[in-house]
Structure formats: structure tokens, C-alpha cells
Amino acid sequence: MRAVVLRQPLDLHVEERATPTPGPGEVLVRIERGGICGSDLHYFRHGGFGTVRMKEPMILGHEIAGRVEALGAGVSGLAVGTAVAVNPANPCGVCAYCRNGQPIHCLDMRFLGSAMRTPHVQGGFAEHLVCRAENAVPLVNGSNPTAGAFAEPLAVTLHAVAQAPVYGSRVLIMGAGPIGTLLVLAARFAGAREIIITDVQDKPLAYASKAGADRTINVGAHPDAMNDFAANKGTFDVVFEAAGQGATVASALPVIKPRGTLVTVGQGATAELSISMIVSKEIQLKGSFRFDTEFALAVDLIGSGRIDVAPLLSNTLPLAEARRAFELASDKSQSMKVQIAFD
């Protein structure tokens, strides 16, 4: 089978790998679509993020969907040919956090396409993938793998929205990348009264507008545009920081109402925050990491049509052009979500 392998920063190739065979309780999935994530781009450009660094070649990718091609022994409830989205999270199930109902914080997590442990966990950008049967979540109502490959990033945003009282709230989203734009969809589904999103480029903001944002603001072109929102101790009930920039996190505090909530979703930055402002305005500061049960919810919402992810798909390139796909995904002025087609 062919796979997208990164050997070191910018050294990405399509290489041959042995096709795996499913064991007991596993299924073989023929991957059809894979979405390029921000973490994939960090590996591609820098070899990692934060303290996480690649130490060996790794197959990238974790936003994947396809069709079941073979069943391992003992697998029931799935049939060959079933379209599925693949949940990339594989918690151990036995550590203290897993036993306490917090598998998202598993001490022995194996997450597809991750260099957080060595040997690295190989990713899903390959023509075939073996996974636990329970990780192959059937797509519903005729939804296809193109939409199914959005299940993982949508699950991330559904988990983030669950951290704050979004219903009936005025919401600010800072950063209009794929996660920020999916946050527009997730916040709207959760009942947000008003959604404003900011970025430093017009192209991603145009996608956010198509996704349903009430207002978009280019803070690169208009750096003072947020000042009015700081009047009278702030405007927004909930702010989601999806840019992963320390300065962006800090700039959120003045525009949050007293007892409002700041949810940080972006990673890879450090920030200097005004503790005095957090204390005096009683701001709730929360982090949001990956997802848990929201993956199955994301599959259902996409399949039922209650959340339409189609406006976010900007480009689909064949596997043979994987490097070009990564270069395109790195350029926010050209793309929103780039997918690789494996069929």
C-alpha cells in the first residue's frame, strides 16, 4: 500500500508500506479521504510542536474515513463495504483516568499520527489502516467519506463548546482556521445568540462567513476594531481562542464580560495574562483538548445533515500529490480544509 511518510521537516514522500492484516477485534479500512490538520502541518514544517518532536519517520494523518474492507475474528456489527469515520484515539482502558471515565487523559494514549511517544504511533494517511472495530464508526444516512473525514475536527469543536455556557450567549471566536470555522458550526448548533469571528486574513474569514458567522473582523487590517467590545467591562459571554497565539489569548480578557468564559483551543503558545483582570472580572479560564464521546456525535450530526461541513472543503488532491496538498494547506490565503483522496 502507499502511505504519506514524513522523515524530517519538509521531507515528505509517498512510500510503499506493507498492507496490514486485522487481528481479533479489528477491522481493515480502505481509506478514501484524509483531512490535513494543524498538527500535521506542525510536523511537516517543524518536525513537531511544543516539546513534541519526531525521532523517526512517521505516517501522518488522523482525520480519516473510508470503507471496511475486511473483518478480524470476533467482529460483529460491521459489514464489509460499510462507510466509516475512524476515531484516531486509542486509550488504554486500564489506567486511573480511563477507569475514572476520563479516557481523553489516558496515561498510555495511542493517537494516530503522533510523535508524543516512541516508537511513534503511525498515522492514517495510507491506503489501508487497521483499527479497533469500535473505532470504525459507521457513517449514517448515506453520508460519504469526504464528509466523514471532518468528524475528528468537528468532535474537537463540539468538545470545546461543551466547556462553556454557549446557549443564548454572545460568542467570539479568535482565529478562523479549520477549527475556528468549525467552532462557528458547533456554537451555532449549541444555540449561540451571536457569533463574531476574527482573523488576520480575509480568505479564512470568507469561509467562516459561509459557515454562518454573524460578523467577521480582520484584526490584521483593523487592529483597533476590538476596542469597542471592551467597553463597560466587556461584551462577550464566551470567547474561544483557536489561533494558538499567546497575544491572542491575552487580548481576549478585556472583551469578556464579568463571569464570562475563555476557552483555549489552540496549542503551541505561551501567554502573559493579567491575573488582576481574571480575578476582578471573575473570568472562567478553561482549556479544551481533543474530544471524547463527541466523535460519535460528530458522525451523527454530519450524517443527519444537522451540521453541514461542505462549505469548509477547499481542495481535494490525489495521494500522488500529497506534498502539494500539504503546501496548499499551509497557505491560509488559498485554502481552508485540504483533503487527500486515496481512491
Tell the CATH superfamily of the 2-150+309-341 domain. Answer: Medium-chain alcohol dehydrogenases, catalytic domain (3.90.180.10)
Tell the CATH superfamily of the 157-287 domain. Answer: NAD(P)-binding Rossmann-like Domain (3.40.50.720)
Specify the pTM: 0.95
| pLDDT value for 107 | 96
Q: Are 44 and 95 in contact (CB under 8 A)?
A: no
Neighbours of 29 (CB within 10 A): 30
Partnered with residue 263 across adjacent β-strands are 240, 286
Domain boundaries, the chain: 2-150+309-341, 157-287
In this structure, what is the dihedral angle of CA atoms 200, 204, 206, 209, given to the nearest 10 degrees? -100
pLDDT digit of tens for each residue in the chain (343 aa)? 999 999 999 999 999 999 999 999 999 999 999 999 999 999 999 999 888 999 999 999 999 999 999 999 999 999 999 999 999 999 999 999 999 999 999 999 999 999 999 999 999 999 999 999 999 999 987 678 999 999 999 999 999 999 999 999 999 999 999 999 999 999 999 999 999 999 999 999 999 999 999 999 999 999 999 999 999 999 999 999 999 888 899 999 999 999 999 999 987 678 888 899 999 999 999 999 999 999 999 999 999 999 999 999 999 999 999 999 999 999 999 999 999 999 8
CA 34: distance to chain centroid? 12
